[in-house]
């Protein structure tokens, strides 16, 4: 077997197809069987008690059989009081481990690496969830309604969050996942600390980018110390926040350099937040959406500076789009929506079959609503696949959003009841 390549900028033409399906050795010894990753999608399929059940197992068995080299779960919460939605999964010190072990076994069943994505939403917590909305500085979210009033964290809160990530990571590996990914993108807590708009602290946790990155770096160190040496560790990072005065490409370059000084195996690049949901294509021009790989232009400089392999996610749908990403020096092509539509997409790429068509656009004029509708369409497809084993490759986003809203109301009552009784 040829030695896997890390930087692929010198590989051209038809060789890209071969490289896409070649193995990748990560810095600490883990090997991905190919360069296609199922990127994280928020499934919102937790059973009562916020644990995984047969539905998530069915989904991940399908993805495991589909040919990807890496499967990254939807974001799993490290704090039951801080949720991105009422049907999110929680893995904290109290959660029963057996359901997670069954989920991990399903994800590993086809030979792919299986990583759990760990997240704390910070201030991106809806007010009706009744939990906590921690943030660096108590700065409210702008341009998006319905979120809880954020509370600035003190040193004890920060230390508690570091411990939560370490505990969840250790338990994920104990359950059988082969690695974890720390979510520091999309406007969630660690992304908030990185952003000069959300982080206005003047202590050791704020100021220049090196101090704004301190929480992420300390979590990386704590997570690595909590896991066995063979477990892989990834970080998801924004290329930019797409907000004036926010986290910039130059900041991302510096954070990646800092991560390179620590035992990180893979950095995934994405972009956006609740205030600017460009990760779902909202607000991007038509040519960018058609081109695929939404964040590729911004990623070039970051990839060139990164001492660790880079994964790029956002809009990749076709094998040609994945090849373009590899030509830019990216090591792994992250695919989300297209893999929801067709779990066997990597096999189809390998055999030359066409990708699914893009999901139809929402009729909503508001970008935030259009983004929410697209996410709802993906979740509808995932629910159908989890319930029936197969699902259509398309869905009406506006109808899906209406269904999602009704479903959320029911799940909200369940979650709040569980939180009050169990916590």
pLDDT at res. 289: 47
DSSP letter for each residue of 113-146: EEEEEEE--TT--BGGG-S--EESS-PPPSS--S
Query: Helices marked H in 273-396 — which ranges?
Result: 286-291, 296-305, 319-327, 337-341, 345-350, 367-388
State residue 282's pLDDT score.
46
The predicted pLDDT at position 244 comes to 80
Query: What is the model's pLDDT at position 243?
Result: 75
User: How many Cα atoms sit within 13 Å of 62 on the Cβ side?
Assistant: 21
CB 409 within 8 A of CB 385: no
CB 317 within 8 A of CB 286: no
Summary mean pLDDT of the chain: 92
pLDDT given at position 62: 98
Query: How buried is 354 (Cβ within 10 angstroms: 0-12 exposed, 13-18 middle, 19+ buried)?
Result: exposed
CB atoms within 10 A of CB 156: 8
CATH superfamily of 15-422: Aldolase class I (3.20.20.70)
As a whole number of angstroms, the distance between CA 263 and CA 360 comes to 41
Angle among Cα 388, 392, 397 to the nearest 5 degrees reads: 115
* Nearest 10 degrees: Cα torsion 123, 129, 130, 133: -10
Q: How confident is the model at residue 276 (pLDDT cuts 50, 70, 90)?
A: low
Each residue of 199-228: pLDDT tens digit? 999 999 999 999 999 999 999 999 999 999
Query: Which positions ≥6 away from 250 have C-beta within 8 Å?
Result: none
The string of pLDDT tens digits covering residues 122-155 is: 999 999 999 999 999 999 998 778 999 999 999 9
User: How many angstroms separate the Cα of 358 from the Cα of each of 42, 317, 339, 393?
Assistant: 19, 8, 11, 9
What pLDDT does 278 receive? 52
pLDDT tens digit string along 391-409? 999 999 999 999 999 999 9
Task: Find, among 4, 21, 9, 11, the residue nearest to 352 by Cα.
Answer: 21
pLDDT at position 8 is: 40
């Amino acid at each position: 077997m040829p030695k896997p390549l890390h930087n692929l900028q010198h590989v051209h033409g038809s060789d890209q197809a071969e490289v896409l399906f070649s193995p990748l050795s990560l810095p600490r010894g883990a090997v991905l069987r190919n360069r296609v990753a199922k990127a994280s999608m928020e499934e919102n399929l937790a059973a009562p008690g916020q644990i995984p059940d047969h539905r998530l197992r069915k989904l991940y068995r399908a993805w495991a059989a589909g040919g990807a080299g890496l499967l990254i779960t939807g974001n799993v919460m490290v704090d039951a009081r801080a949720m991105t939605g009422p049907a999110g999964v929680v893995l904290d010190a109290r959660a029963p481990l057996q359901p997670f072990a069954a989920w991990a076994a399903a994800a590993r069943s086809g030979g792919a690496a299986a990583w759990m994505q760990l997240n704390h939403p910070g201030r991106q917590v809806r007010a009706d969830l009744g939990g906590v909305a921690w943030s660096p500085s108590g700065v409210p979210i702008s341009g998006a309604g319905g979120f809880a009033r954020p509370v600035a964290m003190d040193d004890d809160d920060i230390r508690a969050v570091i411990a939560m990530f370490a505990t969840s990571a250790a338990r994920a590996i104990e359950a059988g996942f082969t690695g974890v990914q720390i979510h520091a993108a999309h406007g969630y807590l660690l992304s908030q600390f990185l952003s000069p708009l959300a982080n206005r602290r003047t202590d050791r946790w704020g100021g220049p980018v090196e101090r704004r990155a301190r929480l992420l770096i300390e979590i990386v160190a704590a997570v690595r110390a909590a896991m066995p040496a063979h477990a892989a560790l990834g970080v998801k990072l924004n290329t930019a926040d797409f907000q004036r005065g926010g986290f910039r490409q130059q900041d991302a370059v510096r954070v990646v350099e800092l991560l390179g000084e620590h035992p990180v195996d893979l950095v995934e690049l994405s972009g956006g937040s609740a205030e600017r949901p460009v990760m779902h294509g909202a607000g991007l021009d038509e040519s960018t959406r058609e081109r695929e790989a939404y964040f590729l232009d911004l990623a070039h400089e970051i990839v060139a500076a990164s001492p660790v392999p880079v994964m790029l996610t956002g809009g990749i749908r076709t094998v040609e789009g994945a090849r373009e990403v590899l030509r830019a020096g990216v090591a792994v092509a992250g695919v989300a929506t297209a893999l929801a539509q067709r779990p066997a997409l990597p096999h189809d790429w390998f055999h030359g079959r066409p990708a699914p068509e893009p999901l139809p656009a929402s009729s909503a004029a508001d970008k935030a609503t259009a983004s929410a509708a697209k996410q709802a369409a993906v979740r509808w497809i995932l629910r159908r696949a989890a319930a029936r084993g197969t699902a259509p490759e398309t869905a009406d986003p506006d109808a899906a959003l209406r269904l999602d809203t009704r479903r959320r109301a029911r799940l909200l009552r369940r979650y709040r009841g569980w939180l009050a009784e169990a916590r």
